[in-house]
Amino acid sequence: MSPRPKKIRRCHGEFCRRAFKPTGTPLTDLEQVMLYRDEIEALWLCDSEGLTQEEAGQKMGVSRGTIQRIVTLARKKTATALAKGHALVFVSEDEQT
């Protein structure tokens, strides 16, 4: 039995850069944490725009539970990268495998 196909997630924001990293160290010398476009969008909607997970889910076309999972993972990745000095590398849908 194959898994359910991933539901299309509507993302409207644009990436400001390819990565966010500590200054003074080349990207190639840092451990890289991949942050996907839907994770950035969910963080933006919930944490910056102040939407509830239900509202963010409606904007992105997914359930509140999906938003909760996305935001939890994105926050963990972001906190780990900031605390350990890793690079956050922004990945768009067409780059995901």
What is the model's pLDDT at position 5?
63
Instruction: Report the percent of the chain where pLDDT is more than 70.
Output: 77
- Tell me: pLDDT of 97 over 60: no
pTM reported for the whole predicted model: 0.78
* Domains of the chain, each with CATH number or no CATH: 36-92 (1.10.10)
Strand order in the sheet with 19-20: 19-20, 87-91, 32-36
List pLDDT tens digits, range 4-31.
565 555 555 555 568 999 999 999 999 9
- DSSP 8-state assignment for residue 10: -
Alpha-carbon distance of 28 to 42, in angstroms, equals 27
Query: What integer is the mean pLDDT of 39-66?
Result: 96
Alpha-carbon distance of 6 to 97, in angstroms, equals 12
